[in-house]
Structure 1
Amino acid sequence: MRAKQDSPCQQIDGGKMSRTKLVLIGAGSTVFTQRLVADIILAGEEDKWELALVDIDPVTLDAVNKLVAKMLEAKSAEIPVTATTERREVLKGADFVVTTIAVGGRKGWQTDIEVPRKHGIFQPVGDTAMPGGISRAMRMIPQMIAIANDVAELCPDAHFFNYSNPMTAICRAIRRETGVPVVGLCHGVHHVEGVLARFLGVAEDDLTSYGIGLNHLTYLTRLRLRGADAIPLFHARLDEQAPTLARELAEKTVWDNIVQGRAPRWADDPFSWGHFRRYSIFPCAMDRHAVEFYPERFPGGAYCGHKLGVEAFPIDERISLGDTWYDEMLAIANSPDPLPASYYENVPGESEQLLEIMHSLMFDRREVFSVNLPNDGAAPYLPAGAVLECNAAAVGGGFKALRADDLPPALVAKLCAKIAAVEITVDAAIQGSRDMMIEAMLADGAVTDPDAAASLTDDLLAAHAEHLPQFAA
């Protein structure tokens, strides 16, 4: 965290420093808002910001507003906070706009998992690729374009960040249809750096990466430990584990969504580490996401003798955990008691590095982050304009992508195929076209038979009809 005397204030008005205005759309996210507010408070910057919380659910909005007030009270901090269900009321004058919305909520996410299962398709996440990701895009893209249009009208100079999934399709749609320079942010690469550090048994801050790809399939071409090439260290650690790999896989009955309490092992992410052994390039973000970009290799969800999304990275459990977090948030917010003494320990900061990113943009620090931007020459071997997850410097006024490393032909081919599927997905969502959605299903690769793709598409459209007005005609 940077020294707090570096004020983010942008202007001086009547001798007083003005506050920087941050608008959170989808503020009812179960953890994001809490962690961001914790970041600001723990950095000692409560006098430099004003917050606007936006959520379409008044019950959730009220709870988040109360919780933020308790967080401020617990640290004797003062931040002006506005809470509203109408984003246009607070967008004017915004310096930063952040979206974390999920059209259809966790119920919609669960439907994106359950409907494809009835068609023999098993997904461990279902929010980015495969039928679940495509279905989610149909709900998300129209609403995100509407938000982008409001940003263009009411705060055209604001930095606009999106955390919602499917990241690549949403950012591509906004850029293509509105020209608004949205930037996609995700904790995936930062999180995986920590996982890889624990794999080696080194401090998380000592390991860095460099890569190129799509959100949730970023190929890490460089891994460095305190500045030195760490790739030989990973191969050596894999050599140590190779003799017991087959036995570990045979004994494994459940793959956890996040490995906790021990060092990760090859058997926890066999596809990703096998990929690394072949190319010395690591696919981020681990098997849970990476396998969804390779559905042809896991027919019927078969993964090491188990079902993806069921025994392997159980997604129903992950979705229900979100419900648990939400209930806990409501209980704490609506309780007459102050925050528990342990609250700030249980809700740590480092909310997707957002505070650090905003600092770098405002003060031209030129620090490098993993972000999602259109391909403007960073990877000349990939389609121009395609939204890529890449390394970029946050400089005064925006981001500048760094030149990516070259990739082997097989990985370029995979990315090009997925970029094409995203483009078709965007067309389907904007046009409200059933036929284009079927084509997106086929291009994605999880479904190969046109009739099966049509049947699955119809079931998903029917299940989500209330959130898909563009398909009503």
Structure 2
Amino acid sequence: MRRKIVLVGAGSAVFTKGLLLDIIERRDEQWSVGLVDTDPVALDVIDKLSRKMVEQKGADIELSASVDRRDILPGADYVVSTIGVGGRRAWEQDVFIPRKYGVYQPVGDTVGPGGLSRAMRMIPQLCDIARDIKIICPDALFLNYANPMTMNCMAIRRETGVPVIGLCHGVNNGLGRISRFMGLRKEDISFTACGLNHMVFLYQMRKDAKDLFPYFVEMLDKVPVEERQIGPLTENFVRENHSYVVSDDRHYSEFVPETTLRGAYRGGELGVKYYSFEGTIREGDEEFEEHRRYAYSAEALPESFFERESGEHEQLMDIIGAMIYDRPGIFYVNLPNCGAVAGLPDETVVERPALISGSGIQPLQLPDFPVTLLPRLARFATIYEMAVRAALEGDRGLLLGAMCEASAISDKETVRKMMEELLAAQKEYLPQF
């Protein structure tokens, strides 16, 4: 039986390449892969690149591509969103405009002024995708990787009723980072984590039924700062809360707004001296150019191109396989809270473990979640609620309130001016405003 997976935002070539490699490895399965991107140049590159990959590896994969998702969605079993409305050029404005007002963000895709600006243009497009799924392939499973994850998933469910599932490799990456730091195998660590995407707290960590946090702190005391690869905010959090923030400082710093002010992070600027945002953008542009060269070259792809890399695509095919073959496994997903963490609204989308099998996706309840961590989640759950409503209703007042709460700028009129500049810069993507 040939199953069909559709990638909306397939021009995100690193994700598409990684997922296609995962599918190519599944030699005993037949897949149809649909590629969708509104940018015809990016779509042509990834279409040609994908066809070279499939042909070179002799894989039984049918490929189709279109700038109109409605051409590709019929018959889909799985629809995966990796869209980035406006691409890297719009993303740059999310970060560069707040810098003019003294707010420095290393990523700007989750929270803070940049993340909220991104949500305003992402949410309408994702809701439109969900509406098309509801009509064209209502039985398809909708999986979202696009950021800001929490707000996107909340808005899709609220506006369309489509039960989207959010996926992120943050927990897997974070566990890998600290297991290497402690010199342990990731597979030997038993853990539980929960939180809001990019602020997920790993609050239980054991090996052979023994709490590992004392050993983690002991290693922090022994290893020189420059060798830790663990940011100071995260290190302090571990020491004070017996919990680890899996995204480390690159994302977590944006949930501590005062650190995003000029010179407030280790005496420098986030996104400039630390976790260079320009570096991230440059790497993305360079990767696209490399893929363009490979796509249009008459030469075969080098074997190095097929080497496995860590990325957002990780675990997607494992999750799908767990459902197809009824192989139960625990995976981290973004779903409505629904009482999982007492004290958070039911509609707040929470990243937490779920049992995935032939019975579907069964999120776990977490009655042991530390109450001391709840205020951090509750604060941003409120910010996200305001922002989701602002994006759906085009409400400037709600967006202003969210931006005031999510930044450390004390003057409301300064925040208003920054907000209006962001809205003006992204105007072509903001029909609701």
Fold-level similarity (TM above 0.5): yes
SS of the aligned residue for 2:366 comes to coil
Kindly state the Cα deviation for residue 348 of structure 1 after the two structures are TM-superposed: 6.6
Q: Is the 8 A contact 1:193 1:208 kept in 2?
A: no
Distance 1:366 1:341, change over 3 A: closer
1:415 aligns with 2:361: no
1:24 aligns with 2:17: no
Distance 1:227 1:301, change over 3 A: farther
Kindly state the Cα deviation for residue 88 of structure 1 after the two structures are TM-superposed: 1.0
Segment of structure 1 superposing worse, 452-461 or 374-383 = 374-383
Q: Is the 8 A contact 1:217 1:293 kept in 2?
A: yes
In structure 1, what is the equivalent of residue 18 of structure 2? 35
Q: How does 1:396-411 map to 2 (within 5 A)?
A: 396-404=358-366, 406-411=368-373
Matching residue's letter, 1:222: Q
Measure, in 1, the Cα distance between the counterparts of 2:263 and 2:87: 24
Kindly state the Cα deviation for residue 60 of structure 1 after the two structures are TM-superposed: 1.2
Measure, in 2, the Cα distance between the counterparts of 1:74 and 1:227: 47
Query: Which of 424, 428, 433 is matched with 1:462 structurally?
Result: 424
Q: Is the 8 A contact 1:35 1:349 kept in 2?
A: yes
Q: How does 1:69-88 map to 2 (within 5 A)?
A: 69-88=51-70
1:191 aligns with 2:173: yes
In structure 1, what is the equivalent of residue 211 of structure 2? 229
Q: Is the 8 A contact 1:103 1:467 kept in 2?
A: yes
In structure 2, what is the equivalent of residue 325 of structure 1? 287
Q: How does 1:428-447 map to 2 (within 5 A)?
A: 428-447=390-409
In structure 2, what is the equivalent of residue 124 of structure 1? 106
Segment of structure 1 superposing worse, 85-94 or 292-301 = 292-301
Measure, in 1, the Cα distance between the counterparts of 2:189 and 2:254: 26
Provide the alpha-carbon RMSD of the alignment. Answer: 1.8
SS of the aligned residue for 1:302 comes to coil
Over residues 341-363 of structure 1, what are the superposed CA-to-partner deviations in whole Å (9 max), with x where a residue is unaligned?
22112657882210000011223
Over residues 240-270 of structure 1, what are the superposed CA-to-partner deviations in whole Å (9 max), with x where a residue is unaligned?
23xx55xx5xxxxxxxxxxxxxxx506x411
Measure, in 2, the Cα distance between the counterparts of 1:198 and 1:408: 26
Measure, in 1, the Cα distance between the counterparts of 2:331 and 2:388: 26
Q: Is the 8 A contact 2:330 2:356 kept in 1?
A: yes
Query: Which of 201, 215, 228 is matched with 1:265 structurally?
Result: 228
In structure 1, what is the equivalent of residue 195 of structure 2? 213
1:302 aligns with 2:264: yes
1:139 aligns with 2:107: no
Over residues 141-164 of structure 1, what are the superposed CA-to-partner deviations in whole Å (9 max), with x where a residue is unaligned?
000000011111111111110000
Measure, in 1, the Cα distance between the counterparts of 2:321 and 2:74: 21
Q: Is the 8 A contact 1:66 1:333 kept in 2?
A: yes
Query: Which of 26, 37, 44 is matched with 1:55 structurally?
Result: 37
Matching residue's letter, 1:324: E
Kindly state the Cα deviation for residue 91 of structure 1 after the two structures are TM-superposed: 1.2
Query: Which of 282, 285, 291 is matched with 2:253 structurally?
Result: 291
Distance 1:148 1:227, change over 3 A: farther
Kindly state the Cα deviation for residue 320 of structure 1 after the two structures are TM-superposed: 1.2
In structure 2, what is the equivalent of residue 182 of structure 1? 164
Measure, in 1, the Cα distance between the counterparts of 2:133 and 2:35: 15
For structure 2, the residue ranges without an aligned partner over 5 or more in a row are none
In structure 2, what is the equivalent of residue 281 of structure 1? 243
Measure, in 2, the Cα distance between the counterparts of 1:409 and 1:220: 14
Measure, in 2, the Cα distance between the counterparts of 1:208 and 1:118: 44
- Count of aligned residue pairs for this structure pair: 433
In structure 2, what is the equivalent of residue 105 of structure 1? 87
Tell me the TM-score normalised to structure 2 length: 0.96
Segment of structure 1 superposing worse, 109-118 or 344-353 = 344-353
Q: Is the 8 A contact 1:36 1:349 kept in 2?
A: no
SS of the aligned residue for 1:224 comes to strand
Kindly state the Cα deviation for residue 205 of structure 1 after the two structures are TM-superposed: 3.4
Distance 1:378 1:454, change over 3 A: same
Kindly state the Cα deviation for residue 102 of structure 1 after the two structures are TM-superposed: 0.2
SS of the aligned residue for 1:342 comes to helix
Over residues 67-126 of structure 1, what are the superposed CA-to-partner deviations in whole Å (9 max), with x where a residue is unaligned?
111111221212111111111112122110000000010001111110000001000110
Measure, in 1, the Cα distance between the counterparts of 2:294 and 2:113: 36
Segment of structure 1 superposing worse, 150-159 or 227-236 = 227-236
In structure 1, what is the equivalent of residue 131 of structure 2? 149
Matching residue's letter, 2:273: E
Measure, in 2, the Cα distance between the counterparts of 1:355 and 1:299: 40
For structure 1, the residue ranges without an aligned partner over 5 or more in a row are 1-17, 249-263
Q: Is the 8 A contact 1:373 1:389 kept in 2?
A: yes
Segment of structure 1 superposing worse, 205-214 or 66-75 = 205-214
Kindly state the Cα deviation for residue 23 of structure 1 after the two structures are TM-superposed: 0.6
